């Protein structure tokens, strides 16, 4: 029997995989909408969305159709050539945003790597070699490459990999005075998440983002928004910057962009894009026809008044019920976030126990997320049915009841 046909179980992970992950004890094998089935046939409701990736749930017909159609046409040609799906997707992203140019790659880390390299190259070309400093926020997360993990403000991810990349400063999030004190004429970019995702689903204050924009303008620095987790309708706007009305110079998107198919984008203006001349940056699979065809279908579905308004309505439904559960069982001090990126901040009695709640929810047939040890995170499909919201939160309440009664 071939490897492809052989039965595999969770125990095989420990035998053949690098141990940098600690996956759950079950293996999902099939999904439809917001429901998932594991190897034993057990059904779970998915409020995790592949960590804010499965923006239209599992096996959405528009995405299946786009992928199937493209799979019968053209898979890969490399960036020695361009292709029709990439050009169509770029047009749609440019038409829908502040941007005038798009660069496609494969992951949020790659998109941020491109953004940070672009920011440094623009500063180098315009002002010289001394303007290269990047300011980012503490508890931010921007990816796992050596550059992005150093820009991310969490030392637990960047320690232990040799000398750190220099010219990077971290300041407290939502602290405009601290940002102002850190910015100088050597600053080439300020990098912020409009909502800190891995840092605890913490939204930026409007005055903070507006202040960051003003500081960048005053110091000839670029404002970079990492919308890897907040982009593609997650907040109820196509991108979170639209919610705030603060326009960045560079924006990164991934996760939801492909609805589960790996793709990412860096969006920027024509004036900035021209600094990445031929040969200065690249990626083998960036702009892959399969990925771009799927992402085009995603934007066609998501960037509609019906879906975006639905996200805001579903947010209210989640928040109301979660606040009731938190109060009834004494778990949360706050339910925060925008759209369908929601964080429940655990109270002092439950601090550090997000994993326990994650496990209890799984036992009730519900897939959720953590955002650090003190926050439970929900990032479901943007088109999750109201009946699935009710059923999933019923399961979450059962988990909360069992935990607090134990």
Evaluate whether residue 114 is within a structural domain: yes
- pLDDT tens per residue across span 198-236: 999 999 999 999 999 999 999 999 999 999 999 999 999
Residues 262 and 150 in one domain: yes
147 near 114, Cβ under 8 Å?
Answer: no
Say if residue 378 carries a ligand binding annotation. Answer: no
CATH code assigned at 241: 3.40.640.10
296 falls within a domain: yes
316 and 289 in a common domain: no
Q: Which of 254, 277, 301 is the last residue of a domain?
A: 301
Task: Please name the residue ranges forming H helices in 19-161.
Answer: 49-52, 61-71, 84-96, 108-127, 146-151, 155-158
Whole-model pTM above 0.75? yes
Please choose, from the candidates 218, 250, 279, 225, the residue with its C-alpha nearest in 3D space to the C-alpha of residue 119. Answer: 250
In a domain, 154, yes or no: yes
**390 and 254 both lie in a single domain:** no
> CA angle at residue 81 from 79 to 82, to 5 degrees?
85
Distance (Å, rounded) from C-alpha 177 to C-alpha 268?
27
Asked if residue 283 and residue 226 are part of one domain, the reply reads yes
Same domain, 221 and 312: no
Q: Identify the DSSP state of 344.
A: E
Please check whether residue 83 lies inside any domain of the structure: yes
221 in the same domain as 145: yes
187 and 295: one domain? yes
How many domains is the chain built from? Answer: 2
Same domain, 259 and 194: yes
Where does a domain end: 282, 301, 320?
301
141 assigned ligand-binding residue: yes
Select from 301, 322, 356 the last residue of a domain: 301
| Residue 185 assigned to a binding site | no
Same domain? For 128 and 254 the reply is: yes
The verdict on 112 and 244 lying in the same domain is yes
The per-residue b/e assignment along 356-382, b for 16 or more CB within 10 angstroms, e otherwise, is: ebbebbbebbbbbbbbbebbbbbbbbb
Is residue 63 assigned to a domain? no
Asked if residue 124 belongs to a known ligand binding site, the reply is no
375 is in an annotated binding site: no
Ligand-binding annotation for 339, yes or no, is no
Residues 119, 18 share a domain? no
Terminal-to-terminal C-alpha distance of the chain: 46
Q: Would you tell me how many other CB atoms lie within 10 Å of the CB of residue 84?
A: 14
Both 314 and 290 in one domain: the answer is no
Residue 222 structural domain:
73-301
**Digitized pLDDT (tens) for each residue of the chain, 406 residues in all:** 345 567 999 999 999 999 999 999 999 999 999 999 999 999 999 999 999 999 999 999 999 999 999 999 999 999 999 999 999 999 999 999 999 999 999 999 999 999 999 999 999 999 999 999 999 999 999 999 999 999 998 999 999 999 999 999 999 999 999 999 999 999 999 999 999 999 999 999 999 999 999 999 999 999 999 999 999 999 999 999 999 999 999 999 999 999 999 999 999 999 999 999 999 999 999 999 999 999 999 999 999 999 999 999 999 999 999 999 999 999 999 999 999 999 999 999 999 999 999 999 999 999 999 999 999 999 999 999 999 999 999 999 999 999 998 6
The DSSP bridge pattern shows strands 369-370 and 375-378 to be: antiparallel
Give the CB-side neighbour count of residue 238, counting CA atoms within 13 A: 18
The reply to whether 68 falls in a domain is: no
70 is in an annotated binding site: no
Q: Judge whether 64 lies within some domain.
A: no
Q: Flag whether 2 is in a domain.
A: no
pLDDT digits (tens, 9 = 90+) for 313-356: 999 999 999 999 999 999 999 999 999 999 999 999 999 999 99
Strands 341-346 and 332-338: antiparallel
Q: What is the CATH number of the domain that holds 46?
A: 3.90.1150.10
């Amino acid at each position: 029997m071939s490897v492809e046909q052989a039965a595999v179980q969770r125990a095989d992970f420990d035998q053949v995989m690098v141990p940098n992950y600690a996956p759950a004890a079950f293996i999902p094998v099939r999904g439809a909408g917001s429901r998932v089935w594991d190897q034993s046939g057990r059904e779970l409701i998915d409020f995790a969305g592949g960590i804010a990736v499965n923006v239209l749930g599992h096996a959405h017909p528009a995405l299946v159709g786009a992928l199937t159609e493209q799979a019968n046409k053209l898979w890969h040609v490399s960036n020695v050539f361009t292709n029709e799906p990439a050009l169509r997707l770029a047009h749609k992203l440019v038409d829908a945003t502040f941007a005038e140019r798009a660069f496609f790659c494969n992951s949020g880390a790659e998109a941020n790597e491109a953004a940070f390299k672009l920011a440094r190259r623009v500063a180098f070309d315009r002002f010289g070699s001394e303007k290269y400093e990047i300011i980012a926020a503490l508890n931010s997360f921007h990816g796992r490459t050596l550059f992005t993990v150093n820009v991310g403000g969490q030392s637990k991810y960047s320690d232990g990999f040799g000398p750190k990349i220099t010219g990077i400063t971290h300041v407290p999030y939502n602290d405009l005075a601290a940002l102002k004190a850190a910015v100088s004429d050597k600053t080439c970019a300020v990098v912020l998440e409009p909502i800190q995702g891995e840092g605890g689903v913490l939204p930026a204050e409007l005055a903070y983002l507006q202040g960051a924009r003003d500081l960048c303008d005053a110091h000839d620095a670029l404002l970079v928004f990492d919308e890897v987790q907040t982009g593609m309708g997650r907040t109820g706007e196509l991108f979170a910057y639209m919610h705030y009305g603060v326009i960045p110079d560079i924006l990164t998107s991934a996760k939801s962009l492909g609805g589960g198919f790996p793709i990412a984008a860096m969006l920027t203006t024509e004036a900035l894009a021209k600094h990445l001349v031929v040969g200065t940056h690249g990626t083998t699979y960036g702009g892959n026809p399969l990925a771009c065809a799927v992402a085009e279908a995603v934007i066609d579905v998501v960037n509609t008044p019906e879906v975006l308004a639905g996200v805001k309505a579903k947010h209210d439904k989640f928040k109301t019920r979660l606040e009731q559960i938190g109060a009834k069982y004494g778990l949360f001090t706050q339910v925060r976030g925008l759209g369908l990126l929601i964080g429940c901040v655990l109270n002092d009695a439950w601090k550090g126990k997000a994993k326990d709640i994650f496990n209890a929810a799984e036992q009730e047939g519900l897939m959720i997320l953590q955002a650090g040890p003190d926050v439970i995170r929900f990032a479901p499909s943007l088109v999750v049915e109201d009946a699935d919201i009710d059923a999933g939160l019923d399961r979450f309440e059962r988990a909360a009841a069992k935990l607090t009664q134990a």
